C-alpha cells in the first residue's frame, strides 16, 4: 500500500480550546486505513473531542478554537476549499444513543442520498437497491426486509443503532466514527454491534471511543490512550494491554483510576 493510502487520518500538533479550557494538547497521530482503532482514557481526557475533530463537528459550538492540522485521506480538512458537507459524507458518525429519524426504515436509509444528491428524485428501483444493499451490509436485511415501512423509532435499540450505521453507507464514507455506540445497549445487543464492526472493518476505517476496556480489547486492532488532553500512547491493542510502555497507560488499564 502506498504511503498516502496507508493512513486514513493524520493529525499534527492538534490543539483545541473550549473557550479558555484547552481540551487537546499537541495531539499528533496517524490512524491506519481499514482497521478498527480504539480511543480510550478516563472521562474528560479528550477522546470524544478528538473524535469530533475528524469531521469538524466541534465547530458547531461558537466557543471552540482549533490549531494544528488534520488530514483525512491526505487532505487537510481545514483547507479553504474543503466543503463541510462533503467532509461529513466521507466521515460518518454514530452517536452514543441511536438517533434514527422518526420516519420509516426505508426513508431513513435514503434520506442522506436525497439530501446530498444533485438529483433529489431517485427512481424507485435505484432507491430499493440502495436500501437493500445498506441493510445487507449491516446484517439487517433478513430481519427488516418485511418491515421497511415500519417507523424506525419502533425498532429494538440494537436494530436502531445498526440502522444509524446503514444510513451512512449509501454516502460511501471512507471513515466511520463511533462515539460509545454500545453505551445504551445490553450485552447481547453490544455483541451484535461488535460483530457488525468486524464485518465493516477493511472496507471502512473505524474509530471507536469506548470506556469499556474489555470492548476495546475485543474489537480494536490498535488503541490510543489519552489523558488530560494529551496522547499518551498509541500501539497495537495487544501490545498496549500486555506490555504498555507508559506507566500511566498501565495504571489506567489496571483500573487504578478513571
Asked if residue 55 is part of any domain, the answer here is yes
Question: pLDDT grade, residue 254 (50/70/90)?
Answer: confident
User: What is the number of domains present in the chain?
Assistant: 1
Pairwise CA distance, residues 240 & 27, whole Å: 18
Asked if residue 235 is part of any domain, the answer here is yes
Per residue in 55-68, pLDDT (tens digit) is: 999 988 889 999 99
Asked if residue 258 is part of any domain, the answer here is no
Q: What is the pLDDT, as a whole number, of residue 117?
A: 65
Asked if residue 29 is part of any domain, the answer here is yes
Q: Indicate the pTM of the whole model.
A: 0.93
Please compute the mean of the pLDDT values over residues 14-29 and round it to a whole number. 97
Mean of per-residue pLDDT scores for the chain: 93
Asked if residue 56 is part of any domain, the answer here is yes
Asked if residue 104 is part of any domain, the answer here is no
Asked if residue 91 is part of any domain, the answer here is yes
Q: What is the CATH number of the domain that holds 94?
A: 3.40.50.300
The parent domain of residue 180 ranges over 3-99+173-253
12 pLDDT more than 90: yes
Asked if residue 140 is part of any domain, the answer here is no
Pairwise CA distance, residues 90 & 72, whole Å: 9
Amino acid at each position: 500500500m502506498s504511503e498516502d493510502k496507508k493512513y486514513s487520518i493524520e493529525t499534527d500538533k492538534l490543539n483545541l480550546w473550549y473557550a479558555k479550557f484547552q481540551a487537546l494538547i499537541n495531539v499528533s497521530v496517524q490512524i491506519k486505513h481499514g482497521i478498527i482503532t480504539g480511543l480510550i482514557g478516563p472521562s474528560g481526557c479528550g477522546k470524544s473531542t478528538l473524535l469530533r475533530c475528524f469531521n469538524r463537528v466541534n465547530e458547531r459550538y461558537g466557543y471552540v478554537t482549533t490549531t494544528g492540522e488534520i488530514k483525512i485521506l491526505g487532505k487537510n480538512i481545514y483547507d479553504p476549499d474543503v466543503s463541510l458537507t462533503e467532509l461529513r459524507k466521507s466521515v460518518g458518525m454514530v452517536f452514543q444513543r441511536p438517533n434514527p429519524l422518526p420516519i420509516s426504515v426505508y426513508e431513513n436509509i435514503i434520506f442522506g442520498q436525497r439530501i446530498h444528491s444533485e438529483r433529489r428524485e431517485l427512481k424507485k428501483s435505484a432507491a430499493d437497491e440502495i436500501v437493500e444493499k445498506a441493510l445487507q451490509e449491516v446484517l439487517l436485511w433478513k430481519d427488516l426486509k418485511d418491515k421497511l415501512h415500519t417507523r424506525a423509532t419502533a425498532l429494538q435499540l440494537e436494530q436502531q443503532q445498526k440502522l444509524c450505521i446503514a444510513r451512512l453507507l449509501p454516502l460511501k464514507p471512507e471513515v466511520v466514527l463511533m462515539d460509545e455506540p454500545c453505551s445504551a445497549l445490553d450485552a447481547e445487543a453490544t455483541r451484535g454491534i461488535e460483530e457488525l464492526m468486524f464485518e465493516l472493518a477493511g472496507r471502512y476505517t473505524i474509530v471507536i471511543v469506548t470506556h469499556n476496556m474489555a470492548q476495546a480489547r475485543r474489537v480494536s486492532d490498535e488503541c490510543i490512550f489519552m489523558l488530560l488532553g494529551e496522547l499518551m500512547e498509541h500501539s497495537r491493542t495487544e501490545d498496549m494491554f500486555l506490555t504498555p510502555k507508559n506507566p500511566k497507560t498501565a495504571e489506567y488499564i489496571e483500573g487504578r483510576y478513571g
